[in-house]
Amino acid sequence: MEFDMPPADDPRRLAVREWVADNPTPSDRELAESGYVVPHWPQPWGVGADPMHQLIIAEELDAAQILMPKNAIGIGWAAPVIWMAGTEAQKARYLPGIFSDEERWCQLFSEPDSGSDLASLSTRAERDGDEYIINGGKIWSSGAHDSQFGILLARTDPDVPKHKGISYFLFPMDAPGTTMTPVIDMTTAHSFNQVYFDDVRIPADLRIGEEGDGWRLAKVTLANERVGLSSGGALWGAGPGTDDLLELIRANGPVADPLMRQRIAQLYAESEVLRLNQLRTLSAQIAGETPGPEASIQKIMSDEIGQSIMEVAKDLVGASGMLTGSGPTGLVPKNKQGGPTEVNFPRGAEAEVADVDPIWHYGFLFSSALTLGGGTFAIQRNIVAEHVLGLPREPNVEQGMSWSETRSRQPA
Ligand SMILES: Cc1cc2nc3c(=O)[nH]c(=O)nc-3n(C[C@H](O)[C@H](O)[C@H](O)COP(=O)(O)OP(=O)(O)OC[C@H]3O[C@@H](n4cnc5c(N)ncnc54)[C@H](O)[C@@H]3O)c2cc1C
């Protein structure tokens, strides 16, 4: 790590503190209007912050326990593409609602037959005058049942190479002809949906960018996630992390089993490597350099470490770990305190053991998704192999694209 955090009297810190003093419990709209939701954006959306300034803002808001709006797909993925390729009218209409979380967004990319090979998607958008008619369907659409809009990829030209015939749309989820069914995952939460489009007509001015330019924009969407500023939790930045688990282990006495001690030590060592690697990425960004291979290995490492954290947490309580609601600190009787505990992350999950933080059980079940969503572990390794290590491309090269290039989820 080659940077020091600016001192307590740095004017950028003082400016954030002054704002916090005036807005100790800001609404999402107030946060959006302050520019702190996307500080690296130019005004009026952000404050034009460089990476160090972003870190300061994140630290200060964190210290004041101010949470950002929850519209992750809207803020992280939809907004940058609207900003880059949208018309002035699209920016003015959609960006304020995204940043204030008054309009929630979902991502309508994956299809039952197009996941890793996303460019093979078959949902159709046919031009009819000043409208498009959408037919087809999407799956794994996280939070679609909670969203007002979705970013939609659809095929506008089936007669050109697959990645050239795709267009990108801003899709109103209440458009007539749109239906969805819930997909309940093994945590019992309803976070996914299967979405169907049956002759759905949307205005042509909901297309973003040129017709056929959707693939390029899709890659921008997913590469445009904000600079990772915090160490974050095991579940894609949310939930507990290695430090939380170690703290519980310390508080609950020594671990006698030598194999378990070894696993805990290994988890600690790997988490430290990940933390230092994150700082290396950040250090490069602060120095104005483009992050190199360290950014590519970040997702692979953090997802696998996330799974280890949850596995160790369950295994610590031995066979009891198999029971619903158990976590690293042992078991208490079901519903001891009179009912299931609500978990806020991610949506609707419930636990049956009152005294154990339900996030551990939920996190254990959810953690297998970490190495699938956002580009699977195999696709990430293909990307590292081909684009970082310079190894030969996979044999399944189609129209000049390797398999890993057919997936939009490129390294940051
Ligand atoms: C928690 C979660 C949230 C998600 N949210 C959304 C969302 O909101 N919107 C959305 O559009 N999608 C979403 N997805 C879908 C996600 O993008 C896909 O699951 C992912 O891209 C993989 O596609 P697939 O499931 O079709 O698997 P497939 O592509 O069918 O892969 C199946 C298996 O084959 C392997 N494989 C595939 N190709 C190769 C290759 N070339 N080399 C080696 N191995 C390969 C994969 O690694 C995997 O193990 C979400 C997924 C998860 C888990």
Q: Where are the alpha helices (DSSP H) in 224-257?
A: 242-251
Q: In angstroms, what CA-CA distances link 179 with 171, 172, 193, 198, 387?
A: 13, 12, 10, 8, 39
Give the whole-angstrom CA distance, residue 21 versus residue 385. Answer: 49
Instruction: Report how far ligand 1's centroid is from the alpha carbon of 376 (Å).
Output: 6
Ramachandran area for residue 309 (φ above 0: left; ψ -120 to 50: alpha; else beta): alpha
Residue 54: what are its φ and ψ, rounded to 5°? -60, -40
225 is catalytic: yes
Give the whole-angstrom CA distance, residue 329 versus residue 356. Answer: 7
Which atom number of ligand 1 is nearest to the Cα of residue 407? Answer: 21
Written as one letter, the residue type at 331 is: L
- Strand segments (E) across 67-130: 105-108, 124-128
Question: What's the chain's length in residues?
Answer: 412
Listed in sequence order, the residues at least 6 apart from 65 whose beta carbon sits closer than 8 Å to its beta carbon are: none
Residue 141, ligand 1, Cβ within 6 A:
yes
**Given the structure tokens 């659409």, which residue do they identify?**
141
Residue 115, ligand 1, Cβ within 6 A:
yes
User: pTM for this structure?
Assistant: 0.88
Which atom number of ligand 1 is nearest to the Cα of residue 375? Answer: 21
Which atom number of ligand 1 is nearest to the Cα of residue 144? Answer: 8
Q: Give the residue whose CA is nearest to atom 27 of ligand 1.
A: 115
**Given the structure tokens 């205005």, which residue do they identify?**
203
**Given the structure tokens 């129209």, which residue do they identify?**
399
Q: In angstroms, what CA-CA distances link 206 with 117, 136, 149, 201?
A: 25, 18, 11, 11
For residue 176, the Cα-to-chain-centroid distance in whole angstroms is 29
Q: In angstroms, what CA-CA distances link 151 with 73, 332, 342?
A: 9, 44, 30
Listed in sequence order, the residues at least 6 apart from 280 whose beta carbon sits closer than 8 Å to its beta carbon are: 1, 294
Give the whole-angstrom CA distance, residue 353 versus residue 187. Answer: 15
Residue 77, ligand 1, Cβ within 6 A:
no
State the burial class of residue 262 (Cβ atoms within 10 Å of its Cβ: 0-12, 13-18, 19+).
Answer: exposed
Choosing from 225, 270, 304, 386, the catalytic residue is 225
Residue 209, ligand 1, Cβ within 6 A:
no
Residue 369, ligand 1, Cβ within 6 A:
yes
pLDDT by position in tens, the chain (length 412): 566 788 889 999 999 999 999 999 999 999 999 999 999 899 999 999 988 898 899 999 999 999 999 898 999 889 989 999 999 999 999 999 999 999 999 999 999 999 988 999 999 999 999 999 999 999 999 999 999 999 999 999 999 999 999 999 999 999 999 999 999 998 888 999 999 999 999 999 999 999 999 999 988 765 654 333 335 688 888 888 999 899 888 887 788 889 999 999 999 999 999 988 888 877 777 777 766 666 668 888 989 999 999 999 999 888 878 877 777 876 433 333 443 333 333 333 344 444 677 888 889 999 999 999 888 888 888 888 888 888 988 776 554 454 445 544 443 3
Q: Give the residue whose CA is nearest to atom 2 of ligand 1.
A: 373
Mutation probe of ligand 1 site: the residue of 106, 116, 141 with most atoms within 8 A of C-beta? 116
Give the whole-angstrom CA distance, residue 155 versus residue 211. Answer: 10
Which atom number of ligand 1 is nearest to the Cα of residue 394? Answer: 41
SS3 217: helix
Q: Give the residue whose CA is nearest to atom 45 of ligand 1.
A: 378
Listed in sequence order, the residues at least 6 apart from 233 whose beta carbon sits closer than 8 Å to its beta carbon are: 239, 240, 241, 244
Q: Establish how many alpha carbons lie within 13 A of residue 43's alpha carbon, considering only the half-sphere containing its beta carbon.
A: 2
Q: How far separated are the first and last CA of the chain, in Å rounded?
A: 19
Residue 123, ligand 1, Cβ within 6 A:
no
Residue 372, ligand 1, Cβ within 6 A:
yes
Q: Give the residue whose CA is nearest to atom 50 of ligand 1.
A: 373
